[in-house]
Amino acid sequence: MQDAISICVIGSGYVGLVAAVCFAEIGHHVICVDNDEQKVAMLNKGEVPIFEDNLPELLKKHRGRNVHFTTELRAAVEQSAAIFIAVGTPQGDSGAADLSYVEAVVSEIARAISDYKVIVEKSTVPVYTNEWIRRILNRHGVQPGSFDVVSNPEFLREGSAVSDFLFPDRIVIGTSTGRAADLMRRIYAPLTDGAYYRQEDALKGPHNRSAAAKLLVTTAQSAEIIKHASNAFLALKISFINAVANLAESVNADVEDIAAGMGMDSRIGSKFLRAGVGYGGSCFPKDVAAFRWVAQQQGLDFGLLDEVQRINNAQRDVFFNKIRSALWTLRGKRIAVLGLAFKGNTDDIRESPALDILRRLLDAGACIAAYDPAAIEKAEALLPPSAQLRYVEDAYEAAQDADALLILTDWKEFATLDLARLNRALRYPIVIDGRNLYRPETMSSHGFNYISIGRQPVWNDGARPISQRPI
Q: Which residues are marked as active site?
A: 283
Q: Is 57 helix (H, G, I), strand (E, B) or coil?
A: helix
Q: Distance of CA 98 to CAs 63, 94, 114, 277, 280, Å?
A: 32, 10, 29, 28, 19
Is the distance from CB of 12 to CB of 73 less than 8 angstroms? no
Question: If you count DSSP H runs as helices and E runs as strands, how many of each does the chain have, helices first?
Answer: 17, 14
* Whether 454 contacts 254, CB under 8 Å: yes
In whole angstroms, give the CA distance from residue 345 to residue 337: 17
Q: How far apart are CA 414 and CA 125, in angstroms?
A: 35
d(CA 21, CA 32): 9
How many whole angstroms separate alpha carbon 209 and alpha carbon 194? 9
The alpha-helical segments, DSSP class H, found in 220-344 are 220-250, 255-263, 284-297, 303-327
> Cα–Cα distance between 299 and 25 in angstroms, integer?
44
Among 17, 5, 158, which Cα is nearest to 86's? 17
Fill in the amino acid letter for 424: R
Closest CA to 58 of 135, 141, 163: 163
Asked if 278 and 316 touch (Cβ cutoff 8 Å), the reply is: yes
Query: From CA 54, how far away is CA 49, in angstroms rounded?
Result: 13
Under a CB-based contact definition with an 8 Å cutoff, are residues 63 and 40 in contact? no
* Residue 241 neighbours by CB under 8 Å, 6+ apart: 255, 259, 272, 273, 274, 275
Q: How many CB atoms lie within 10 A of CB 308?
A: 25
Supply the DSSP string of 157-203, one letter for each residue: PTTSHHHHHHS-S-EEEE-S-HHHHHHHHHHHHHHHSSTGGGSTTPP
Strand 29-33 and strand 6-10: the pairing is parallel
